[in-house]
Amino acid sequence: MNVADNIVKILEEEGIDTVFGIPGEQIMPLYKALSNSSINHVLTRHEQGAAHAADGYTRSSGKIGVCITTASPGALNTVMAVATAYKDNVPMLVLTGDNDLKYRDTDHFQTTPQLEILKHITQASYNPLNGTEAMYVLRAAIYELKNIPKGPIHINLSKDILLQEEFDDFDLCYLCEDDLSNISKAQELIDSAERPLFILGAGAISQAESINETVHKYNIPTTTTFHGKGIVPETDELSLGLCGIRAKPQARYAFENADCIIGLGIKASERTLPSMPDNFIHVNINRDVLVGDYPIHGKVEDFMSEIEFHNVDWLGEILEHDGEYDLEGLDDDAKPQSAIKRILEKFSDNIIVSDAGSHTTWTTLLKKSLRPRQLLFSGAMAPMGYGLPAAIGANIATGEKVIVINGDGDFQMNLQELATVKENDLDVIVFILNNSEFAIIRQWEEQFYDMEPYQVNLANPNFIKLASSYGIDAIRVDNLDDLEMILEKDLTGPLVVEVIVESEFIPLPE
């Protein structure tokens, strides 16, 4: 058994049953081992697609997503997608092949400093120099991804290391270095609070059940980050929706008038906290993102088990304020927001994946998540091309129907992954809102730079013929009546639905 064989054996032992990738020369020993394993390998058509798919796999299920690539061209093709996962703290494993160790720091064919590049966009980037180190860093990476899930971890594997047959393997057993020293200080603030407020982020998803029990027992209102939507169902009156730049009046009032704000598993970015409150308790496993006067470095689970809450009564005061966005055009023919509203109503219980563009704003504002992990999109990096490959990962991880809401511009960034959808016969339905332009860029040009539209108009292909060339059924609609008629049917993927829409400016944050 060589190192590559043992890597695959460890992945199987750890319950990893699916990986995404593309084979190549330097990673071939690992692919030989995979070919003799029980692991399902999903062949994507581009390495960026493989990494986005691993991201969607993790976001939708909480399981470890894995992407595998060969050396430089393959590894560097993942950069945008790995950076996307890094910015949103998505815990996934990135395995890259490399030339033999003797070629490091040379101008050898397909040798680049890929470790140096990827280390800036991963939680950790390892470069084992022998087989024993490879075993150690793999086990350490999986431990961290499961127990301290702060972001992607990269392991760079030279071909000669993968082929080594003399190495030691071992079990790891160590604990996360939590710092709960501020618990008593936080407890004093909570004890004195009459108007507490939770802000829930992606790091709190695993504790959704206990959080719901707590907020309902003590009547504590909640808001969320974009990626925390659905931890408390957004149809619940205790769920005030998004906090920060896209807050509804109720959530904004709650944030401005709370005497104790408890952030669970949030990154506390400028999009979530428009200002830094002096009564902010911040709980996160990532010490580097902690802010405020009450930082708690540890798991949300441990914090919730240590803290005692009490009944409060200020929800009625909050609910006196408006609980909805003031959005126009929701019933206008050919407006993107009216099409998105109807798509979301039809697929209210399905996983929705949004790409990047003006449609993302409409989707995040209109989608009411009934459970966590129901709306997937890149919040902090927002690359075009995320939607389709992420939906592939989400469908494979959950087995559920997945709906992609794309624009015509971002869809074309990774449209080759239609082949992956077809090859695996995935129940993925792709809606392309086609306005033949980069609409949000046009809006920025006109509103902020006093420009005429410049380099934003798109001469698009025939999306129906394009989908058909991959063997995928496709439909085009150009009005609300036809869209509603299509949505009345029992739709199953693979399917592409092109919706012709007019250009429309998105509402800007207040």
A 10 A CB-CB count for 30 gives: 26
- For residues 282 and 348, membership in a common domain is answered with no
* 506 domain residue, yes or no: no
Encode 421-458: b = buried (16+ Cβ within 10 Å), e = exposed: bbeeebbbbbbbbbbebbbbbbbebeeeeeeeeeebee
Q: Give pTM, 2 decimals.
A: 0.89
* 510 domain residue, yes or no: no
Q: How far apart are CA 270 and CA 276, in angstroms?
A: 9
Q: Average of pLDDT values for 245-269?
A: 92
Give the range of the structural domain holding residue 426, as residue numbers without chain letter: 336-500
Edge-to-edge strand list for the sheet holding 196-200: 239-242, 222-224, 196-200, 260-264, 280-284, 294-297
Does residue 101 have a pLDDT over 90?
no
Domain endpoint, select from 254, 285, 319: 319
**In which band, very low, low, confident or very high, does the pLDDT at 171 lie, cut at 50, 70 and 90?**
low
- For residues 251 and 286, membership in a common domain is answered with yes
Domain endpoint, select from 266, 289, 319: 319
- For residues 7 and 150, membership in a common domain is answered with yes
- For residues 242 and 298, membership in a common domain is answered with yes
Strand-pair category, 92-98 with 65-69: parallel
Does residue 104 have a pLDDT over 90?
no
3-state secondary structure 33-74: HHHCCCCEEEECCCHHHHHHHHHHHHHHHCCCEEEEECCHHH
Residue 263 pLDDT: 95
Q: Average of pLDDT values for 205-231?
A: 94
- For residues 145 and 234, membership in a common domain is answered with no
Q: ∠ at Cα 45 (112, 104), nearest 5°?
A: 15
Residue 174 pLDDT: 46
Does residue 500 have a pLDDT over 90?
yes
- For residues 341 and 227, membership in a common domain is answered with no
Strand-pair category, 294-297 with 280-284: parallel
Q: How far apart are CA 494 and CA 50, in angstroms?
A: 18
- For residues 363 and 310, membership in a common domain is answered with no
Spell out the residues 6+ positions from residue 196 whose beta carbon is closer than 8 angstroms to its own. 190, 220, 258, 259, 260, 261, 262, 309, 312
* 22 domain residue, yes or no: yes
Model pLDDT for residues 446-468, shown as the tens digit of each residue: 999 999 999 999 999 999 999 99
Residue 510 pLDDT: 66
In the chain, the largest separation of any two C-alpha atoms, in whole Å, equals 70
The CATH number for 492's domain is 3.40.50.970
- For residues 45 and 103, membership in a common domain is answered with yes
**In which band, very low, low, confident or very high, does the pLDDT at 177 lie, cut at 50, 70 and 90?**
low
Query: DSSP string of 257-321?
Result: H-SEEEEES----TTT-SS--TTEEEEES-GGG--SSEEEES-HHHHHHH--------HHHHHTS
Domain endpoint, select from 319, 346, 371: 319
Q: Is residue 135 within 8 Å of 168, Cβ to Cβ?
A: yes
* 431 domain residue, yes or no: yes
Residue 287 pLDDT: 85
Residue 312 pLDDT: 95
Mean per-residue pLDDT over the chain, rounded: 93
Residue 266 pLDDT: 92
The CATH number for 302's domain is 3.40.50.1220
Does residue 472 have a pLDDT over 60?
yes
Task: Give the tokens for residue 388.
Answer: 């389709």
- For residues 461 and 349, membership in a common domain is answered with yes
Does residue 418 have a pLDDT over 90?
yes
Which CB contacts under 8 angstroms, 24+ apart, belong to 323-329?
323/240, 323/241, 323/248, 323/249, 323/250, 324/248, 325/248, 325/365, 325/507, 326/507, 327/365, 327/366, 327/507, 329/504
Residue 179 pLDDT: 76
Does residue 245 have a pLDDT over 90?
no
* 330 domain residue, yes or no: no
Q: Average of pLDDT values for 19-32?
A: 97
The count of structural domains within the chain is 3
Helix (H) or strand (E) holding 445: helix 439-448
Q: How far apart are CA 379 and CA 246, in angstroms?
A: 13
Does residue 173 have a pLDDT over 60?
no
* 397 domain residue, yes or no: yes
Residue 503 pLDDT: 85
Q: Average of pLDDT values for 391-416?
A: 97
Q: Is residue 206 within 8 Å of 301, Cβ to Cβ?
A: yes
* 91 domain residue, yes or no: yes
* 433 domain residue, yes or no: yes
- For residues 256 and 363, membership in a common domain is answered with no
- For residues 308 and 413, membership in a common domain is answered with no
Q: Is residue 204 within 8 Å of 215, Cβ to Cβ?
A: no
- For residues 342 and 306, membership in a common domain is answered with no
Residue 175 pLDDT: 44
Does residue 325 have a pLDDT over 90?
no
Q: Average of pLDDT values for 408-431?
A: 97
Spell out the residues 6+ positions from residue 424 whose beta carbon is closer than 8 angstroms to its own. 42, 392, 396
